[in-house]
Copies of this chain bind each other. A is one copy, B any other.
């Protein structure tokens, strides 16, 4: 391709309304343009990247035995009423009606449509398992679209749905999809983690999110430094500290702590570290009026998702108000503790491992120091109540946890029978009985992958594309091509030779200053660049620079094709 016949729409200024770097660079490099809030046009340069991602996704899905279909964007309300989601789904579901005033929606997802298709087409267990996918424009009416295509109202998704006669078959396909996703993100050249995810209210049996690690991510990912364990921080198990709890060494001592309300206050007042104290929070129990005290180490944070799943705890999680707490425990927030606590107590694993700790005395303005489990208060129920922190042991027993931010680009989910039950999607099993099909679903945010790759790969000059996603592999930049016949001839010859070898090459034949061309090629992130200039050419040389290199190097003209081929395959 030549820049003279390819829209290079780079911009110098950083757009004012672009908050994240990928949004800024996608606009500045001319990959996308905003049409309206959350609606973007993909320009030729951006579309080349999007198509490369799309093709890799398609190849790996096909290779994993999935079959491609294409379902309508516009979906009839009736199916969503059947599944119950016409009522349940929030205003992100863009509901419309046609000229006959019939209700439809623009599909953010296709569980209903595919379940309807499969229940009509598949009659026997012999036709299962089946895994259908599409790569399609999705619409979600975001209340506040932002971050460019990262959270837009129209976006490109790969969504797949599998159907099974039983759970073991679902688990097999789930594993195949897990591997396919790993293969996709590996081929794309991204630093990613498949993380254990919350199955949420759908209550399926297993779910993994695939996250691209990047500082701008919206999720905290905990992962082992020595194994492939990774989980959303919300989901990562905080294991009990190794070793036995030390024996009590200090006396239980009541201390007046006027004005002390928080753990920070207490640490300052007592001149202690937070990890030698515990804090006590009170939540509603499952029964009407029942309160439960949760005890965590002073430096740890409660993980509401974990607590909500515990037996005996109200769901959704509800913190008790101070009046109720004072009535039940004899003291307000800031002075609570396990010693002499009148209500049920659940202790976090790390708090349970402490000896000689400080805690509230259940008397306003007083704390204990030197408290010990069993000696001063019973250690009854111990659970995992807290969020993991960096340095925690990995729950799989290998290494310690690191925490980084991640951008969710994929999600695989064992749905179970949520939709097939509601929509009566059944097949005959091998004994001739009707059984409800078990389902899995598997999504990749194709357009989001493009943004996440930029979040992970950029510098102050612009984008640095991973090889598989780059709109072009190589840029040829001839200097003063319009004036120097030698430069023009050399550039044209190289362009023709490399193109014939199948190299995706961009020839910058614009009549622009060298500085403008260099800046553009760096901004749009082409991995390899050769510069053809009169001076070097006279000495038989051509200049090469990799996008991540600090300096360029001179390559003898007769070796340049071989050299480039080596760079591209290396």
Contacts and interface: CB of A to CB of B under 8 A. Distances in A.
Contacts of A99: 91, 94, 141, 143
A7 B67 contact: yes
B94 A94 contact: no
A70 B42 contact: yes
Interface in A6-22: 6-7, 9
A69 interface: yes
Contact of A68 (B40, B47, B139, B141): B47
Given A41-B70, A42-B70, A36 B76 contact: yes
Contact of A139 (B41, B74, B94, B120): B74
Interface in A506-543: none
A73 interface: yes
A121 B65 CA distance: 43
A39 B74 contact: yes
A164 to B, nearest CB: 15
Nearest to A73: B137
A178 to B, nearest CB: 20
A45 to B, nearest CB: 9
Contacts of A137: 73, 136-137
Given A33-B120, A121-B7, A42 B69 contact: yes
Interface string A36-79: 10011111100100100000000000000101111111111010
A331 to B, nearest CB: 46
A130 interface: yes
A319 B36 CA distance: 47
A244 interface: no
A113 B40 CA distance: 11
A171 to B, nearest CB: 19
Chain copies in the assembled complex: 2
A254 interface: no
A558 interface: no
A259 to B, nearest CB: 47
A132 B104 CA distance: 31
A113 to B, nearest CB: 6
A47 B33 contact: no
A96 interface: yes
A154 interface: yes
Interface in A357-385: none
Interface string A91-107: 10010101100001010
A44 B67 contact: yes
A113 B41 CA distance: 9
A130 B9 CA distance: 13
A166 interface: no
Pick from A67, A78, A106 the residue with the most CB of B within 10 Å: A67
Nearest to A5: B65
A141 B42 contact: no
A489 interface: no
A219 interface: no
Given A35-B75, A65-B5, A70 B50 contact: yes
A225 interface: no
Nearest to A114: B41
Contacts of A33: 117, 120-121
Given A47-B69, A70-B50, A141-B98, A76 B7 contact: no
Contacts of A158: none
Nearest to A30: B121
Contacts of A113: 35, 41
A72 B40 contact: yes
A35 B7 CA distance: 39
A134 to B, nearest CB: 9
Nearest to A98: B141
A73 B41 contact: no
A297 interface: no
A250 to B, nearest CB: 59
A229 B43 CA distance: 38
A364 B412 CA distance: 83
A264 interface: no
A153 interface: yes
Nearest to A126: B511
A96 to B, nearest CB: 4
A122 to B, nearest CB: 9
A239 B132 CA distance: 57
A555 B104 CA distance: 55
A42 B44 CA distance: 27
A135 to B, nearest CB: 11
Pick from A35, A40, A94 the residue with the most CB of B within 10 Å: A35
Given A41-B117, A74-B154, 10 more contacts: A5-B67, A7-B130, A36-B72, A36-B104, A39-B76, A40-B72, A41-B69, A41-B71, A42-B71, A43-B69
6 contacts: A35-B113, A36-B72, A40-B72, A73-B139, A74-B139, A98-B153
Would you list the 3 A-B pairs with minimal beta carbon distance, nearest first? A42-B70, A36-B76, A44-B67
